[in-house]
Amino acid sequence: MAEPQVTVPDAVDLIRAKRDGRPLTAAQIGWLIEAYLGGEVADEQMSALLMAIYFQGLDQAELRAWTAAMIDSGERLELAGTGRPTVDKHSTGGVGDKVSLILAPLVASCGAAVPQLSGRGLGHTGGTLDKLEAIPGWRALLSPAEMAAVLRQAGCVICAAGPGLAPADRRLYALRDVTGTVESIPLIASSIMSKKIAEGTAALVLDVKVGRGAFMRDEAGARLLAHTMVTLGAEHGVATSALLTRMDTPLGRAVGNALEVEEAVATLSGDGPADLVEVTLALAREMLRLAGLDADPAAALADGRALASYRTMISAQGGDPDVPMAISARSRQALNAPAAGWLRKLDAYAVGVAAWRLGAGRALKEHPVNPAAGVLCLAKPGEWVERGQPVLELRADDQSRFARAEEALAGAIEIGPGPPPACSPVIDRIDL
């Protein structure tokens, strides 16, 4: 008696199905991801499928299966030995967003374990690892055993994701980057959540930025992304919530790697900008709520516990927390207020692009960054400025960079007869 034939999926059939709006099964998706990593599905075929997903989307069952297949493509970290509830945070990226540098040790000082796998900057948004690498000796690349050891010692760790964590996402992201399929909410959500779920944390808070300097510029899109990721987290057993936070103006006053580390340490020492402190405390309270801890993060920030956790973490990863972070760029140039009045707008995107052009960011992932380059916001919206008063200070090692940075800042500043409406940087909380 002949054995029954097992039907193997065909990549072209799956492309046609998604192109025509038909859903893929979990088995088909699992085969597709495994076959792509194994070389059975070519880049051009996966590119076609990604474009079909860009236009047709993924329903919730497809998205759950897609995310699970990316998680299963690699290893999962084991964090059970910390003796503390585990909780992490992920930001969708912004300008001057040095929250992670403050938040991880702050929440750790309140009794949680915070395993934060972070990335590098690309384009106008900065990367947490680039910022911390401005500290001499600090190491981003840790083995799973080293990561666990730092987590036990300091209560928190910020490091790069290893190559074994959701490798399918790494391959797919590189393909999306060159095929115009980055801006897809299902693909964004599965990319973020596959890594965070594989990381092994029990709880996760998402900081979804909204506005001119954010990846998601409109609130409706940001809400949909937040809800999609919160749902994915819950479906995979991770307690997840999200905060929508504003990113029309740079967060804090420092934009640039060493400049942002310096501002983060000042905030941990009790001298942080009000908007940065408000966002950080809101995220900390949400993380502690999901972790089931009754603690006051404002008190931990005020009494030095958070700073002590930060110093322990930096030391455990090879850095010197006592090295002064005022790394001096060779050249500085001011952008002055054209008139007296209330500063009504300081465009986050323009400031981010200016910092990038000064050397603080990169156009390609393999490019280096200059830790000293960046922009200081000497005035923020809601403050009165005099004509000729410096509003921004540009820093670079190469004076030739100033002209293109100033081009990016054309129209970035708006001054008017009255202050802008007062509004909290935290817009809303999203959970199930």
Residues in the chain: 432
Catalytic residue among 18, 64, 89, 90: 90
Catalytic residue among 18, 64, 98, 176: 176
Residue 179 in 3-state DSSP?
helix
Alpha-carbon span 243 to 206, nearest angstrom = 6
> Within 13 Å of residue 49, how many CA atoms lie on the same side as its CB?
26
Task: Print burial letters for 198-218: b (CB count within 10 Å at least 16), e (below 16).
Answer: bbbbbbbbbbbbbbbbbbbee
Question: Is 191 considered catalytic here?
Answer: yes
Alpha-carbon span 389 to 387, nearest angstrom = 6
Alpha-carbon span 386 to 384, nearest angstrom = 7
What would you measure as the largest C-alpha separation in the chain, in angstroms? 92
Question: Is 131 considered catalytic here?
Answer: no
Question: Is 120 considered catalytic here?
Answer: no
Catalytic residue among 89, 195, 209, 311: 195
Residue 10 in 3-state DSSP?
coil
Phi first, then psi: give them for residue 268, nearest 5 degrees.
Answer: -65, -20
User: What is the per-residue DSSP string for 97-133?
Assistant: --HHHHHHHHHHTTT-BEEEEE---BTTB--HHHHHT
User: What is the per-residue DSSP string for 341-370?
Assistant: EEEEEE-HHHHHHHHIIIIIS-SSTTS---
Catalytic residue among 169, 207, 248, 275: 169
Residue spans of alpha helices (H) in 256-304:
257-268, 274-291, 297-302
Question: Is 176 considered catalytic here?
Answer: yes
Question: Is 90 considered catalytic here?
Answer: yes
Inter-CA distances, 330 with 336, 372, 402, Å: 20, 9, 12
> What are the catalytic residues?
90, 169, 176, 191, 195
